[in-house]
Amino acid sequence: MDVGTASFVIFIAFMLAVLYLKRKEIEFQGVLALYKTTKLRSSIYKIGKDHKTFWKAYFSLGILVGVLIMILGLAYISGTTIDLISGKSTPAFGLVIPYPTSEISYESGLLKVPAWLWVLAIPFLLIPHELSHGLALAANKLKIKSLGLISLLIIPGAFVEPDEEELKKAGKKEKLQVYCAGSFSNLVVGLVLVLFTHMLLAGFYAPAGITYSLPWTMLNTSEVVSNQTLENGLVELRTQNEIYLLTPALLSAQENETLIAAYEDLPAARNNLSGVIKSIGGFETNNPEEVRQALSTFSPGETVEIVTSSGTYTPTLADRNGTAYLGIQFNKPNTMVALIAPQNVRPYEAKSEVAKPVLDFLLSLTNFIIAVCIGVAIFNMLPMKPLDGGLVLEAITNSSIAKASTLLVLGLLLINFGAAIFA
């Protein structure tokens, strides 16, 4: 039994044991199990009231951010749904669940993560979210009836229960502070962890080469006059005037297609160059400029040694306008991805081999928590009741608009999840 499966079994056993041992204190509502308490209520009241000025300013900022997230989230899911219907995109959302697996995978609308990873990440999501709802209630002198834990089958969650009647009578600003508090704090936690990621990379990692792509074009198979398999496994396609190259995997993925993507016949593609480029001709290459400088020391027709994470290659450089040309290109990274997860844009290596396992684990865990916190913040602020975003829209407008928005967002979500399930 691998670690992923073992952690899942332990997780299920623990949840079932808790539900059984605490059954007399738990309120069961179908597949929901609720454990309510008032033990931490006085502490939340004290923190919220003692620092009321700070919390009101904090949660007022949360209103602005929350409404912005709601608008952006609705625009995002609307755009992806339109692209999905037209066949240009994949589903925008997935349900994150613990699963008996050792690696994160996505299938049929479900993001399956190892149970141990899910357990480590969930406190970073639930505690700030629910605590913020409680502090917003306390800072606005609104009653907290109870707080506690909730379980949907064996999936745990948490809640803060306000006095709904009192909250309905509260002012618009007070309502919005309470409703936006959870998602805003999830976003704050995510941004703090983004800063931590940058600090971790700056202090304990070093750039480890550069990623690239190979120039390619769309080719109509009717233009192909001959083909052959080369010694390195590549498939060479010849048209009347040009030569193109494909890897066996790329060819197989486009089987029976009349219009296929094929690499241009350039040194990198012809030598089946793969992996992160670490050096060219003995020169380290951690950015596009260093690649250009390294290639400038060679002439067209010369053979150069290129070291990548996959091995060593010796392509013969081509001639492009009188200069040596390898035949690779650098795509501009997504700005948001570069900010949130820079290690997904460019490769890094730990400076210490001894500390590498711990550092890599910490980096991957942080990356997952960031994705979950930001993802949940956006999803929770979608203008659909009973999500917080739906309550925000209702407080700003009225119940009729909130109901119409709920139906709209529900339809968009069903299209996304339906497409994911039947993909």
Query: Dihedral through CA 134, CA 139, CA 141, CA 143, nearest 10?
Result: 0
Residues 362 and 13: their CA atoms lie apart, in Å, by: 26
Query: Between 399-421 and 52-85, two packed helices, what is the crossing angle to 10 degrees?
Result: 50
Secondary structure (H, E, C), the chain: CCHHHHHHHHHHHHHHHHHHHCCCCEEEECCEEEEEECCCHHHHHHHHHHCHHHHHHHHHHHHHHHHHHHHHHHHHHHHHHHHHHCCCCCCCCCEEEEECCCCCEEECCEEEEEHHHHHHHHHHHHHHHHHHHHHHHHHCCCCEEEEEEEEECCEEEEEEEECHHHHHHCCHHHHHHHHHHHHHHHHHHHHHHHHHHHHHHHHHEEECCECCECCEEEEEHHHCCEEEECCCCCEEEECCCCEEEECHHHHHHCCCCCEEEEEECCHHHHCCCCCCEEEECCEECCCHHHHHHHHCCCCCCCECCEEECCEEECCECEEECCEEECCCECCCCCHHHHHHCHHHCCCEEECCCCCHHHHHHHHHHHHHHHHHHHHHHHHHCCCCCCCHHHHHHHHHCCHHHHHHHHHHHHHHHHHHHHHHHCC
- pLDDT value at position 391? 95
Q: Sort strands 318-320 and 323-325 into parallel, antiparallel or unpaired.
A: antiparallel
- pLDDT value at position 88? 65
- pLDDT value at position 196? 96
Asked if residues 420 and 108 have their Cβ atoms less than 8 Å apart, the reply is yes
Give pLDDT tens digits along the chain (423 positions).
Answer: 788 889 989 988 988 888 888 888 888 888 888 899 888 899 999 999 999 999 999 999 999 999 999 999 999 989 888 887 776 666 666 778 888 888 888 776 778 889 999 999 999 999 999 999 999 999 999 999 999 898 887 788 899 999 999 999 999 999 999 999 999 999 999 999 999 999 999 999 998 999 999 999 999 999 999 989 998 899 999 999 999 999 988 988 888 888 999 999 999 999 999 999 999 999 999 999 999 999 999 999 999 999 999 999 999 999 999 999 999 999 888 888 888 888 888 889 999 999 999 999 999 999 999 999 999 999 999 999 999 999 999 999 999 999 999 999 999 888 877 665 555
- pLDDT value at position 414? 84
- pLDDT value at position 310? 92
- pLDDT value at position 338? 83
Q: Which domains does the chain have, with CATH numbers?
A: 3-206+357-421 (no CATH), 216-325 (2.30.42.10)
Which residue bears the tokens 């659909």? 384
- The predicted model scores a pTM of 0.84
- Provide the token pair at 276: 């992160």
- pLDDT value at position 99? 87
- pLDDT value at position 80? 83
- pLDDT value at position 90? 62
- pLDDT value at position 423? 56
The amino acid at residue 325 is Y
